[in-house]
Amino acid sequence: QQQVKQSPQSLIVQKGGIPIINCAYENTAFDYFPWYQQFPGKGPALLIAIRPDVSEKKEGRFTISFNKSAKQFSLHIMDSQPGDSATYFCAARRAGRRALTFGSGTRLQVQP
C-alpha cells in the first residue's frame, strides 16, 4: 500500500526550465511534508519542507505548493540548472511520530 504517490518517475528539462514534481497522499493524519534530494552514490538530504497550515513555501529556487483539500503537494524548481540533476523524493510524516513515508522518487535530468 503506497501511502504517498509520486509522479512523474523521470523528468528531463532544459536549463532554465521549471520542473514540477507532484505527490499525493491519503492519510489526513500526515502533518509534515519534506522533500529530499539525492545525488548518485549519496544519501538523501533534506531540501525543503512544509506543514499543512501554509499553501506555499519558498527557499531559494525551490518552492513547495500545498493543497490540503486535494491532499496534494508539489515541488517546483525555478531556473533549473544541470547541478539540480538528481533524484527527488517527497515524504510525509504522521502527527506525533518520527518515521517518514517516502514517495517512489523522481529522477530529474537538467540538460545544458
Taking CB under 8 A as the rule, does residue 6 contact other proteins? Answer: yes
Helical (H) or strand (E) element with 48: strand 45-50
CA distance 110 to 98: 33
Find cell 514540477 and name the residue. 20
Q: Taking Cα atoms as reference points, which of 82, 100, 99 lies closest to residue 90? A: 100
CA distance 72 to 77: 17
**From candidates 12, 15, 42, 81, binder to other proteins by CB under 8 A:** 42
User: In the structure grid, which three cell numbers stand for residue 90, read together?
Assistant: 517527497
DSSP character at residue 67: E
Contact flags string 73-92 toward other proteins, x per CB under 8 A = ----------------x---
CB of 112 to other proteins, least distance (A): 26
**From candidates 21, 44, 77, 86, binder to other proteins by CB under 8 A:** 44
Task: Identify residues 16-35 at the interface with other proteins (CB under 8 A).
Answer: 32, 34
Q: How many CB atoms lie within 10 A of CB 88?
A: 24
**From candidates 57, 71, 93, 94, binder to other proteins by CB under 8 A:** 93
CB of 43 to other proteins, least distance (A): 3
- Per CB under 8 A, residues contacting other proteins are 6, 9, 32, 34, 36, 41-46, 49, 89, 93, 98-105
